[in-house]
Structure 1
Amino acid sequence: MRSLHRGPRLGPSAHRDHRGATRGLALDLGSSRTRVWVPGHGVLPDPDVHGAPGADGPSGTGAGHGRPVRRGRIVDPDSCGRMLGRIADTALGADRTGTVIVLSHPVLTGPRHRAAARELLAALGPSTVIALDSARAAAASAGPRDGGPLLVVDIGAGLTEATLLVDDRVRDARQAETGLGDLDPAGPPTAVVHAVLEMVLDMWQQDRHGAVLGALRKGPLLTGGGAARPDITDRIAARLGTPVRLADDPATAVVRGAGMVLSSVLRQAATVALPTGRAG
């Protein structure tokens, strides 16, 4: 289990003057599939599962064998680059001038994965690449909140993460390399539920300010494919002794949150581009 304390805010590129940016897309590189969000279209239908060797089916619960991304890491850069190229060609066209790509990634993804992802995306020719961790993306998709502590539990195909957000900053996070793809379809989801409980308990024991307890009282926000399974969510709520909140369409919550950041960037760019006066 990996852990993190006091993560950074959203990268400075998200607050720059993106003058000239008019188009873009948001990406969530997952172990079972890549989610894509495009302004005006929303979430695109599974752009990389059709015809991809070893790709998972519609359930999205496979282990992702043969996929270029596994357990939150790019394991086949060449294949990943080709996949991203197809996505960019479809969503942005050949001319990438004035485009922005927002990439969501697991909170505890290492620097090697982040660097590889940025390199692959830069090769596509966008004007800007913005990185956003999945916990804050999921929180954004859930709508406005009071800024107090929020516990986000993301249950994916190959990873499960628990992240404590305070004032939109990552205060603490845990990651387990256990996901839906590791479960026996005929048995109970014990491994995933145990991973969530272990991570939350560990964060609680390390918390000196009561933020975890405050977040638990409000109810953790569950996202990822696992949040669509009552056999998982009911067990987590019972074991934690608190109600849980489910993200709307949890399998796409992260990419939709990344899309909201993209929309904000494009609106900001449009506002900056407006003339300050009228012609006489």
Structure 2
Amino acid sequence: MFVSTTVVPDRLPFSGPAAEPPIDTQPSATTRPTAIAVNLGSGQTHVWVAGRGALSCPSGDTAGTSLAPVRRGRVADRSGCVDVLAKLIGQYHDPVPAGPVVVVCRPVLATMAEQYAMRQVVAAVFGSSRVLFIDTVRAVAIGSGAAVGSLLIADIGAELTEVAVLEHGRVKAARRMDVGTRDLKRGAPAELLAHTTTRMINELRHDPTAQALVSAASIRGLMVVGDGATAPNLRLRIAANLRIPVRSAVAPWTAAINGAGLAAMSAGRHPAIP
């Protein structure tokens, strides 16, 4: 499935790089709301709470749910997603205070309907809260300390592959397709992911609005996160196809949730932002 390249503006205030995970400290609840980050992936669900760190579990880890809660990066079973997220939150020793700021990772180019479904899940788990969205690729750039300058990213997940070119942490152009590492386990050819990633990046190379930025970002090479980052043969195939360096991000499994956590803390310091 091909998705349009129109980019949804990102209104989160954070723009600087961060090579380390969010600092595990929590300011007084009387001065600012609790900062929370959520990443509902097709393979793994991650949550981070300021002062308590990050937790994760398989997104399909729900009792009595026949339909996978998240499919191709989209909420397919709202109650299943609520169960997974509530179970993770329940592992923290103390209850999460009311009225938190929750930053939710969204697939790049997510539709309003997809975001609404995520917002419903967050509302069911956290109640009255301020919810902000951040493109997962942007969260990765922040969390891996690569947000400065031009950057080319490929997020190769379990069921969704996204590519984007960013400038100073802002998404300028992107593509996504409904294919991921899980398709290889289901019998798809090994070349599928390399071909898909190569094709989308080549489309960005020929996009007049992104051409110059992609060319500049290619000097740094392609940064890969998600399941694809742990597959050396895949990275080698992509590098051979594109003829640019291809590297794994720092902490490819947690870069997105770390970046979203930093954005949540930043948003908590800017109460005027809706």
TM-score by length of 2: 0.81
Specify every segment of 5 or more residues in structure 1 that has no aligned partner in the other structure, as ranges.
55-64, 271-280
Query: Structure 1's 9 and 92: CA in aligned 2 closer, same or farther, altered over 3 A?
Result: farther
Q: Which has the larger radius of gyration?
A: 1
Counterpart residue number, 1:277: none
How far residue 218 of structure 1 moved from its aligned partner, in angstroms, is: 1.4
Counterpart residue number, 2:180: 179
- Confirm whether residue 213 of structure 1 aligns to residue 225 of structure 2: no
Counterpart residue number, 2:244: 242
Counterpart residue number, 2:55: 44
Q: Provide the C-alpha distance between the structure 2 equivalents of 1:150 and 1:10, rounded to a whole number of angstroms.
A: 19
In the alignment, is the contact (CA less than 8 A) between 1:36 and 1:43 conserved in 2? yes
How far residue 7 of structure 1 moved from its aligned partner, in angstroms, is: 3.6
Q: Provide the C-alpha distance between the structure 2 equivalents of 1:159 and 1:95, rounded to a whole number of angstroms.
A: 31
Specify every segment of 5 or more residues in structure 2 that has no aligned partner in the other structure, as ranges.
16-28
The aligned runs of 1:1-280 (5 Å cut-off) are 1-11=2-12, 20-46=31-57, 50=61, 52=63, 66-91=67-92, 93-94=94-95, 96-123=97-124, 124-143=126-145, 145-146=147-148, 148-184=149-185, 189-208=190-209, 209-266=211-268, 268=269
Q: What code does the residue aligned with 2:41 have? A: G
How far residue 52 of structure 1 moved from its aligned partner, in angstroms, is: 4.4
Q: Provide the C-alpha distance between the structure 1 equivalents of 2:96 and 2:123, rounded to a whole number of angstroms.
A: 14
Q: What code does the residue aligned with 1:225 have? A: D
In the alignment, is the contact (CA less than 8 A) between 1:3 and 1:172 conserved in 2? no
Percent identity over the alignment is 34
Query: Structure 1's 89 and 42: CA in aligned 2 closer, same or farther, altered over 3 A?
Result: closer
How far residue 41 of structure 1 moved from its aligned partner, in angstroms, is: 4.0
TM-score by length of 1: 0.80
Cα deviation digits, residues 37-57 of structure 1 (max 9, x gap) = 233443314275656467xxx
Q: What code does the residue aligned with 1:39 have? A: A
Q: Provide the C-alpha distance between the structure 2 equivalents of 1:78 and 1:145, rounded to a whole number of angstroms.
A: 35
Q: What code does the residue aligned with 2:179 have? A: T
In the alignment, is the contact (CA less than 8 A) between 2:61 and 2:84 conserved in 1? no
- What's the C-alpha RMSD, in Å, of the aligned pairs? 2.9
Counterpart residue number, 1:58: none
In the alignment, is the contact (CA less than 8 A) between 1:103 and 1:130 conserved in 2? yes
Of 43-52 and 196-205, deviating more is 43-52
Say which SS state the counterpart of residue 43 (structure 1) adopts. strand
Q: What code does the residue aligned with 1:27 have? A: V
How far residue 79 of structure 1 moved from its aligned partner, in angstroms, is: 1.7
Q: Provide the C-alpha distance between the structure 1 equivalents of 2:266 and 2:212, rounded to a whole number of angstroms.
A: 32
In the alignment, is the contact (CA less than 8 A) between 2:229 and 2:248 conserved in 1? yes
Of 33-42 and 169-178, deviating more is 33-42
Say which SS state the counterpart of residue 122 (structure 2) adopts. helix
Say which SS state the counterpart of residue 203 (structure 1) adopts. helix
In the alignment, is the contact (CA less than 8 A) between 2:43 and 2:158 conserved in 1? yes
How far residue 211 of structure 1 moved from its aligned partner, in angstroms, is: 0.9
Q: Provide the C-alpha distance between the structure 1 equivalents of 2:169 and 2:79, rounded to a whole number of angstroms.
A: 34
